[in-house]
Amino acid sequence: MKALLALCLVSAPAWAASLDFMPIPPGEFIMGATDETAALFELPDGDASLIADERPAHRVRIMRGFELARTETTQGQWFDLMKTRPGPAAFWTRHDWRELPVVSVSWNDAQRFVAALNKRENTTRYRLPTEAEWEYAARAGSAGNRPFSDTELAAHAWYLGNSGDVPHPVGRLAANAWGLHDMLGNAWEWVADRYQPDYYANSPHADPRGPSAGERRVRRGGSYHCAPHLVRVNYRAADTPDTRYSVIGFRVLRESRRK
């Protein structure tokens, strides 16, 4: 299995070789809360307003394939490129510090990392995924609230029930069907889009890029500090682009070369 997975990894030039990318094909999916009953059942008080921004579920087409980092950006990758150590000092003194997801980085910080990576590799192919690209990759061809049974959450995601309330080395739990690890749990992941709670009602069918205005930016996936109801592929959260929490990181997308 490991040998077969290795064949799927998309090679990267120079320094970026420390980032493994998985090929994500173009296609269609249903974005949003496709199983509203199950989502409501998980909420602490069943308040339907808490999933209002996940509705309506709507069909989205990703027109071009792309490559998505197999894991969240790690502290080691961040330090090697940016030469700084954001976040709690305790995360940087652990023996496995290089393998932990980098956290306490704002949306602006993530954009600076991407800009530095593009400059270093002399390209413009690296960026944050859009919200639609992120959910499409997280679903990996599945529907519902998660791409696996609810009873398998601990096998796929570090969340409050199994994390000990600390981050864990990336890539240690099961991957989804497209070879991506930690899409749920471990660290929240910034995506490119601005946030509006009613965006889904008017979202374009092909390659939605999010609203053109809005102060906050979207983060997805939940973290090691989250209760299960927040660790769903359709759950949406947002913060201002200068926000830094010890539970928020990011994952890099690389645009595929045009043929």
Residue 259: per-residue pLDDT: 58
Residue 34: per-residue pLDDT: 81
As given in the structure block, the two tokens for residue 106 are: 């704002």
Closest alpha carbon to 26 in 130, 137, 131: 137
The Cα-based distances of 27 to 12, 30, 100, 202, 207 in angstroms read 24, 11, 32, 20, 10
Q: Which residue ranges in the chain fall short of pLDDT 70?
A: 1-17, 259
| CATH for 157 | 3.90.1580.10
- For 222-238, what is each residue's pLDDT tens digit? 999 999 999 999 999 99
Residue 206: per-residue pLDDT: 98
| Amino acid in the structure at residue 182 | D
Residue range of the domain that includes 133: 2-255
Number of domains in the chain: 1
- For 135-169, what is each residue's pLDDT tens digit? 999 999 999 999 999 999 999 999 999 999 999 99
- Rounded-to-integer distance, Cα 212 and Cα 228, Å: 31
Residue 258: per-residue pLDDT: 72
Closest alpha carbon to 245 in 142, 105, 47: 105
φ/ψ of 230, rounded to 5, equals -95, -10
